[in-house]
Amino acid sequence: MSDDDALRGAPQSSGPETQADARGSSQATQTQATQMRGRGARAWLRWVCVEPERARPRALLRLLIHALGVLASYVVGGVLAWASGPSTAGRAAAIGLQTALVVLVTWACARFVDRRPPTQMLGSADRRAPIDLLVGVALGAGSIAVIALLEAQLGLAHYAPLALGSASLLRAGALLLFFVAVAIDEELWFRAYQLTNLAEGLSAWLGPRASRATALVLSALVFGLAHALNPNASLLSTANIAVGGVFLGITYAMTGRLWLALGLHFAWNTAQCLLDMPVSGQTLGDELLVHRDELGDDLVTGGAFGPEGGALGLSAMLLGTVLCVIHARLTLRPEVAKLDDAIAS
């Protein structure tokens, strides 16, 4: 398979295949709009909101419906976590319910709003899926480990190991569950659903590669803005998180497979927590394995926001993006489920 095939961005059955087709589709859409103007406000509203050829909401409306469902799931999980107080079991139940609701909302939106098989948004659950997961885990954990090593070697932070007791093991188990939930929730929202529908919506106006690339950038920007209200967030951390959205989404944009992003997201967050680093502005680990004293400049280490807010984290994400591209190109085969399949009818 060629690199152009790997980066092809238009749907095979529901969108144009070439730049000329994209322009023709755009002209046809404009012609339909002109016709609708003469048929009254009701017909115009229906054309604006509904894809007549597929009898489903247009891309932006689909994204809004899904986002409202996901946010409602977060509210339910947050209320249950607040009601459970300090109970570890109660918080675990809240996290589990929230993730189950996000999965259900995404499945329902794919099935009944998008009118597509929900499994298309994950990619094939074939024998490569565990490999992709492990590659993501290795890349996420390895990136944070390298950051910690550089901090220690350059005098930017000091790490002191701690004794691991039964209480620490219990907290570590709860945090692992939490980060599994975070990875599933955010990857289903920002990559599987959002990126897929953005690419499909843009394919009527842009060429194949441009629609895919633009969808990746837009979803990454939304991902960054979604973290802008986190504790200790700054303009730099928000921009870096947007780069992280590209880091997480590039493999999915190239292959239509979500497995690597799931493993990467989980391991990146978990490794930060286990090394006593703030995770996107939040301190969650409470010194499980090591105690970390930050000594360097916040612009380098990320300060209270964590590595994602500094130069070291940005460098790791940029290098990781390159490695993800290399991995996708080396392992891409004709039978791999591409994003084109995920956005096709």
| Tens digit of each residue's pLDDT (9 = 90 or more) over 283-316 | 876 678 899 999 999 999 999 999 999 999 999 9
Domain range for 27 is: 3-342
| Tens digit of each residue's pLDDT (9 = 90 or more) over 69-81 | 999 999 999 999 8
Indicate the SS3 state at residue 161. strand
pLDDT at 40: 65
| Tens digit of each residue's pLDDT (9 = 90 or more) over 112-128 | 999 988 888 887 778 88
Residue 101 has pLDDT above 70, yes or no: yes
Residue 3 has pLDDT above 80, yes or no: no
Q: 59: which residues sit within 8 A by CB, 6+ positions away?
A: 197, 198, 200, 201, 202
Q: Burial level of 110, CB count in 10 A (0-12/13-18/19+)? A: buried
Alpha helices in the chain (DSSP H): 3-6, 19-37, 41-49, 59-84, 88-108, 128-153, 166-186, 196-202, 208-226, 235-255, 259-274, 298-301, 311-331, 339-342
Residue 345 has pLDDT above 60, yes or no: no
214: number of Cβ within 10 Å: 18
71: number of Cβ within 10 Å: 13
> How many folded domains does the chain comprise?
1
Indicate the SS3 state at residue 176. helix
Handedness of CA 191, 196, 198, 202 (dihedral sign): positive
Whole-number Å distance between alpha carbons of 106 and 57:
15
Q: Which two tokens stand for residue 197?
A: 């529908």
Alpha helices in 12-127 (DSSP H): 19-37, 41-49, 59-84, 88-108
| Tens digit of each residue's pLDDT (9 = 90 or more) over 36-70 | 555 566 666 665 677 777 788 999 999 999 999 99
Please name which of 261, 186, 189, 188 lies closest in space to residue 230, comparing C-alpha atoms. Answer: 186
